[in-house]
Structure 1
């Protein structure tokens, strides 16, 4: 389902490459018609902003939303497990899902990073992808509501994901989402304290460079290219998924 790849691209860190891809993303969303007309119209403000606004302004807003506001984190398990040690096992389990399907993750990405998860879903058959989206649909719904309250155009992406999912989130699932703590993205001392975590390794042989702190820093600077568009020469593309069968 290419629509999920397109929505993944919209959640990437803003860049000139992303801006140049907006017309192709818009065309893909309309041609595949997975997203309803009403939702396509809701996505238009974000598409327009990403294509015409100053990239540095876009990057600043993106950072304030997703990097400095923990309740808007683009890591799924942040909203499910919070500080619980269950979060580490959930990471391992999700990585296993990717591996079972024949893919492995570049060490620069956490398994629960939303754009990565969407990219994986986009590679699965449509029915399977819809059911995969149902699992974190309650998180998508919560993020959409929180972004809507902040009058952020990114809310439309999460609302579209909820609509695409095979099943809508139950009230019980929504209640299980870690509550919005009302964190202040301008309070850097509080932010540093909130993000302090023990290093988590994913499987045997994981090097120190795969610790949560290092990985999170890399994820926050992620600039993966939008689908089908050449990458800026100064920032080469990274392989996110590698077929396990190709490994020695």
Structure 2
């Protein structure tokens, strides 16, 4: 597994609803400690250090309050561009199609703009597809990180590390062309 794939997969895990299993998983700590990206490694470990000091129920409550009950800090990234307007539905369909073309089939109840799912996609997709999706949503991810930083939220550490990894990945992927599909060229 390449560095960017491991980094995005780890960020995806850390940004999901907290579960005791991954909070106590020594393999997760080991994988994070192997990251070459110093900023990502440091930030992910800072988040885990914080998480270890809290009860799982407390982490879950904070997660729900922050990401599920607030439009300002939702993990559904197309919301930042479109709110609940019909254009959001069209963007979700395009994103779902990009996932399908790259070989990732979603269930009917999964929205493809959920940040942990997008990071999981970026960890598994071909470089050009991962680059395309991350570039399209980079501003929303950065905005979410900024809002979390404003309130000293512990998930800021994960997003900051993820952004450091994204920046490095996008810099490396500059030479990778994003293929133009026939239906997009017309």
Pick the TM interval, shorter chain: 0.7 to 0.9
Deviations for 1:127-185, whole angstroms, at most 9, x for unmatched residues?
A: 65345322211111111110011111111222223222316xxxxxxxxxxxxxxxxxx
Shift of 1:5: 0.9
Q: Which residue of 1 aligns with 2:153?
A: 152
Structure 1 residue 91, shift from structure 2 partner: 0.7
TM-aligned CA distance change 1:136 to 1:71, over 3 Å: same
C-alpha separation in 2, matches of 1:98 and 1:131: 11
Contact 1:8 1:119 in 2 (8 A): yes
**Please, which runs of 5 or more residues in structure 2 have no aligned partner?**
172-186
List 4+ stretches of structure 1 deviating above 6 A. none
Taking the aligned partners of 1:2 and 1:126, their CA distance within structure 2 comes to: 13
Cross-structure match for 1:110 = 111
Q: Mapping of 1:73-84 within 5 angstroms?
A: 73-84=74-85
Question: Displacement of 1:54 after TM fit?
Answer: 0.6
Q: Report the count of equivalent residues.
A: 164
Pick from 25, 28, 49 the counterpart of residue 28 of structure 2.
Answer: 25
- Establish whether residue 49 from structure 1 lines up as the match of residue 50 from structure 2: yes
Q: TM-score, normalised by structure 2?
A: 0.80
Shift of 1:46: 1.3
Moved more, 79-88 or 127-136: 127-136
Q: Which residue of 1 aligns with 2:135?
A: 134
Query: Within 5 A, what are the aligned runs for 1:1-248?
Result: 1-21=5-25, 23-33=26-36, 35=37, 37-126=38-127, 128-165=129-166, 166=170
The runs of 5 or more residues in structure 1 that have no matched partner are 168-248
- Alpha carbons 1:75, 1:114 under 8 Å: kept: yes
Rate the CA distance shift 1:122–1:50 in 2: closer, same or farther, 3 A: same
Contact 1:8 1:118 in 2 (8 A): yes
Contact 1:2/1:122 (8 A) holds in 2: yes
